[in-house]
């Protein structure tokens, strides 16, 4: 029983030490991350992640502040690598696609947006993605007959919406 009590005291002392460290260094970690990534929202997440990564090792580190700085820099570098890859993926995925839609396409997108989700999904998957009833049914977790009903009602609502 004494060992478990001792274990709790060590844990609470460690938590207390981390809380002090957090209060002393959080603002700097965010400031460094903002300078490295250019976004306060992203920087706050990266700083928080860096501090959490340090928590279990705080008592065994010789220079926790230096470890935090290095962790913030490494996490920001990782974020930049991910962000660069993501931008490249988006560029490749949207290559050759128009940057803006024509007026009729915008009207159709607005009309689709007015449909209930399942009708919108059924119409979009059938007419824009060229899926079969069975494929749509599997995606929407319903029967193929339900897909046909959704399509019928969705097309009817679109005609009505576009005529207005």
CATH number reported for the structural domain that contains residue 47 in this entry: 1.10.1740
Give the chain's domain count: 2
pLDDT in tens, 47-77: 999 999 999 988 888 999 989 999 999 999 9
Taking the chain (164 residues) in runs of 10, the rounded mean pLDDT of each run is 39 67 93 91 95 90 90 92 88 72 78 88 88 93 96 93 80
Residues 75 and 114 in one domain: no
Residues 64 and 115 in one domain: no
Residues 85 and 30 in one domain: yes
The pLDDT of residue 102 is 78
Residues 123 and 89 in one domain: no
Residues 83 and 144 in one domain: no
Residues 89 and 15 in one domain: yes
The pLDDT of residue 112 is 85
Residue numbers of the domain that contains 47:
2-94
Residues 40 and 63 in one domain: yes
3-state DSSP of the chain: CHHHHHHHHHHHHHHHHHHHHHHHHHHHHHHHHHHHHCCHHHHHHHHHHHHHHHHHHHHHCCCHHHHHHHHHHHHHHHHHHHHHHHHHHHHHHHCCCCCCCCHHHHHHHHHHHHCCHHHHHHHHHHHCCCCCHHHHHHHHCCCHHHHHHHHHHHHHHHHHHHHC
Q: What is the CATH number of the domain that holds 128?
A: 1.10.10.10
Domain C-terminal end among 51, 72, 94: 94
pTM over 0.75: no
């Amino acid at each position: 029983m004494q060992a478990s009590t001792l274990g709790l005291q060590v844990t609470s002392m460690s938590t207390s030490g981390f809380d002090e460290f957090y209060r002393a260094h959080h603002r700097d970690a965010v400031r460094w991350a903002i300078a490295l990534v250019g976004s306060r929202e992203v920087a706050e997440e990266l700083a928080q992640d860096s501090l959490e990564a340090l928590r279990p090792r705080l008592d065994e580190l010789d220079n926790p502040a230096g470890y935090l700085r290095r962790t913030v820099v490494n996490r920001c570098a990782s974020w930049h690598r991910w962000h660069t890859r993501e931008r490249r993926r988006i560029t490749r995925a949207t290559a050759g696609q128009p940057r803006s839609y024509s007026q009729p396409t915008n009207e159709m997108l607005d009309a689709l947006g007015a449909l209930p989700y399942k009708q919108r999904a059924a119409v979009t998957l059938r007419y824009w993605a060229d899926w079969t009833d069975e494929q749509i049914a599997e995606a929407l977790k319903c029967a193929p007959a339900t897909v046909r009903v959704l399509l019928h009602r969705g097309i009817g609502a679109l005609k009505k919406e576009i005529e207005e």
